[in-house]
């Protein structure tokens, strides 16, 4: 359960970050390829979708950690794979700040998901 809680804390931090991006904070160099200091409308919408996704990921992780749902067990393996792919995507970003900050964040999420999946 500790890995699921840690992942939820990280996801909450990412949700706050995405909320700041939606609000127009000049943090775009850390997200979405780092091409925009302030995100344009389309990417702000993507950030809103990300916030919703983070909540859903947290629900799946807690359910899988509690072993309360068979579907969550499969979903956490899918999330593990997704975050492992995310490591590569962030590591190859053209944005140096995104590479340096988001790569380890996604690696931590991948590790937490793996721990929950192996449960």
**Per-residue pLDDT tens over the stretch 95-116:** 999 999 999 999 999 999 999 9
DSSP state letter for 23: T
Find the range with the poorest average confidence among 5-9, 10-14, 54-58, 62-66: 62-66
- What pTM value is reported for the model? 0.90
pLDDT of the residue at 119: 83
In this predicted structure, the answer to whether residue 69 has a pLDDT above a threshold of 80 is no
In this predicted structure, the answer to whether residue 71 has a pLDDT above a threshold of 70 is yes
3-state helix/strand/coil string of 98-110: HHHHHHHHHHHHH
Structure tokens at 110: 């991948």
**Per-residue pLDDT tens over the stretch 16-59:** 999 999 999 999 999 999 999 999 999 999 999 999 999 999 99
């Amino acid at each position: 359960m500790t890995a699921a809680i840690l992942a939820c804390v990280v996801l909450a931090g990412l949700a706050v970050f995405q909320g700041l991006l939606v609000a127009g904070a000049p943090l775009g160099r850390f997200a979405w390829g780092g091409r925009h200091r302030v995100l344009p409308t389309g990417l702000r919408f993507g950030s809103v979708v990300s916030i919703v996704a983070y909540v859903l990921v947290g629900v799946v992780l807690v359910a899988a950690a509690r072993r309360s749902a068979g579907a969550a067990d499969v979903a956490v393996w899918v999330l593990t794979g997704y975050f492992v792919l995310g490591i590569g995507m962030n590591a190859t970003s053209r944005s140096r700040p995104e590479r340096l900050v988001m790569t380890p964040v996604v690696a931590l999420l991948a590790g937490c998901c793996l721990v929950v999946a192996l449960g």
